[in-house]
Structure 1
Amino acid sequence: MVRGKTELKRIENATSRQVTFSKRRSGLLKKAFELSVLCDAEVALIIFSPKGKLHEFSSSSMINNTIERYRKNTKTLAFGRNSVEENLQLLKEETATLYKKIELLEDSKRKLLGENLDSCSTDELEEVEKQLERSLSNIRARKNLLFKEQIDQLKEQEKNLTKENIELRKKSEMLPLKLSTLPKVQLLPQLMEVETALFIGLPEPRTTNV
């Protein structure tokens, strides 16, 4: 005979309800014990009968230890959930504040570009004008600084070139002195090399005496 499935609802008959409670309680306590032994789990079970009688099971020596451990864990979890919710709320507020700042900056940028000025009052237009003047002043100061740095660099280059020119002149003035100290036998090839190096142009035509 196939056993019918019991419908999960309150048993109206008091006697049947008490019998079912006793059977299911015993089965539940047995399952709790098996779970603690087979899986080495810490299990605590508390049951109050309809008349208020306490039935309990604990895999440890004291059920109060298990209950205290449960309370600590639930507090930690609750604190973690509250912290996450608080962080999310703070992030939402910071995001909203940043959006407002971005909108203000965009509006200020458009005004500085000369856009959306129809809704501006006289005071707002004067403030925009002051901002533009301050910006122009900063731009001019930066430009003058760059010009000064470029001028200083050119002056330094000019100084280095002048120094090199002076050294080249000294070397060119010392060249005749070196040539005069050479013997005539050595001087002639040197002079010929100098004259050859300095001659520029076509060779003169040769004339023959008839």
Structure 2
Amino acid sequence: MGRGPVELKRIENKINRQVTFSKRRNGLLKKAYELSVLCDAEVALIVFSSRGKLYEFSSVGMNRTLERYQRCCYTPQDNSAIDRETQNWYQEVSKLKAKYESLQRSQRHLLGEDLGPLSIKELQNLEKQLEGALSQARQRKTQIMIEQMEELRRKERHLGDINKQLKNKLEAGQGSLRAIQGSWDSTPLVDANNTFPAHPTQSNSMDCEPTLQIGYHHYVPPEGSTVPRSVACESNFIQGWVL
């Protein structure tokens, strides 16, 4: 009993549809290969599945076959359109080339080269162009120099302010040093009871750390003092080597 005709419609069952696609795709690729071999034909086959997956076959190369297909599909009207577009591009290239040559010639003229073919009027125009360019260059140079001078003046003022601040700090420090030296000079070495006070660098408080004084201050007894010279020398020695 033979098979009946298969109704050509979309297979609703997803699994059956996928199985049928796989079988018939393989058969189609096999037939394309057999056709290219048996008949020496240039065959190209492109298949996209429902999921977007690509399957292809080409007997001589897909790009080569597609290019041949595009050449065969062009009509004379399309060829004329391409010719017109090519001609337009050729004219555009010619214009750009002429403009480029003109710019090169103008550059040589500005550099003082190839001035022989120029007429007097052209030379006068060239002279005006050079004068205008020179004037603009000088103006720009002057502007840059003025900006640099302003920047240097700002730096000078800033450094002057810093110098004044340092000078004020130095004068304040010197004033404090003079005050300390004045307090040392006003400290008597012998009090009214002919006793020797502590050295100015020492403190009466026991909380201060001990210091070592190397050398001694030369003590000269005042006029009319009853302190013997030997006691004065001894006080110099003791006061000079206080720990």
Q: TM-score per shorter chain, which class?
A: 0.3 to 0.5
Question: Which TM-score applies when normalising by structure 1?
Answer: 0.48
Question: Which TM-score applies when normalising by structure 2?
Answer: 0.42
Larger Rg belongs to: 2
